[in-house]
Amino acid sequence: MSAVDDACALLATLTDAEAVGVWSAPGRVNLIGEHTDYNEGFVLPFAIEHRTVAAVALRDDDVVRVASTFAQAPVEVDLADLDAAIARGGLDWAAYPLGVAWALRSAAPDASPRGVDIALASDVPVGAGLSSSAAIEGAVAGALNDVWAAGLDRVALARVGRTAENDAVGAPTGIMDQMASMLGEADAATFLDCRTLEAHEVDLGFTAAGLRILVIDTLVAHAHSSGGYAERRASCEEGARIMGVAALRDLDVADLPRAQELMDDVTFRRVRHIVTENQRVLDTVATLAAEGPRAIGGLLVASHASMRDDFEISVPELDLAVDTALAAGAVGARMTGGGFGGAAIALIDAELVESAASAVSAAFAEAGFRAPRTFTVAPSRGAARDA
């Protein structure tokens, strides 16, 4: 069964009411630009074909009830109690969809909230750095935007998703994931200025070049609301304070010698990653346009080295995945996502995908690591109403 079928089947177990619609939103792969988003910098993600689906039915009361194929029991909150429920916390997975309902109501005061049943199903891998959370947020935001007649555009809905993630879930992430999930287009990435939220499509040209993106999910779970992510963000804010700028976006590579003089080693290395990663995003966009996708491999490799050595968010499994993919012929490879686990990506010729995946599996077995999951993804459409 597809995720659409699963969501509709789950909805049928919740209510006898007819579904008023089905909405979906994708996960994403970040091609390059890691941890730059909350520093008001640049990112280059693309939406993938793996999606979360929300099937919705109307209720005759003011209860929002959410259920999913990946949780044991439905969770319900009366609209009148939604603020208090979010403030109390403890909602576990339901903080994502209920957080969206809470944030959307604030973002669209002229909307007409009403009770709904929302059934969720997903084929976005969880914990792999492919933004399964933004896929949930995008599907629910799109559904409630229509059902509640909120009238918000895609950028506003991305903001709703970020508010839910930051304030309801407690994960101090930027807006990249939500924007990628909302704005994705087939065979293109979204170049996003995270300060202005200006975005435009960037043709990737992978298919024409005979290239694929191989995802290597290490199955090492990570959680953005845990301490490592928050610590990195705090270091970036401290670095900006020391340099007297609003955000690290305002620094460039020429500022790094001065930064090194003023900062302790750890703070400086965190800052160096962000500053050089912003430049790598800009260089990747320019290189894709001028030379095509085969010319960006070195930028991907340099990004991984920076995350490994300066930002210190890689793990041995990710490093082994990257090194093995490169040895197997990948054009470039890097970890993707927030780090501390999750997935790596490899840009690789289509005919080498199978052998590279086998090489990675063999390397993991030899190292005594859990067997990874490998699969390819393609740049795909963003959030949409499906039925």
Question: Which residues are tagged catalytic?
Answer: 177
CA distance 270 to 234: 10
In degrees and rounded to multiples of 5, residue 278 shows phi and psi of -55, -45
Q: What is the CA radius of gyration of the chain?
A: 21
Rounded (5°) CA angle 352-300-210? 35
What span, in angstroms and rounded, lies between the C-alpha atoms of 56 and 263? 52
For residues 9 and 139, give the distance between their C-alpha atoms in angstroms, rounded to a whole number.
17
**Nearest Cα to Cα of residue 375 among 348, 341, 340:** 348
Beta carbons within 8 Å of 98's beta carbon, 6+ residues apart: 64, 66, 75, 77, 82, 85, 86, 91, 168
| H runs (alpha helix) in 263-352 | 265-291, 297-309, 316-327
How does DSSP assign 325-349, residue by residue? HHHTT-SEEEEESSSSSSEEEEEEE
**Residue 33: which of 326, 311, 240, 257 has the closest Cα?**
311
- Tell me phi and psi for residue 335, to 5 degrees: -70, 155
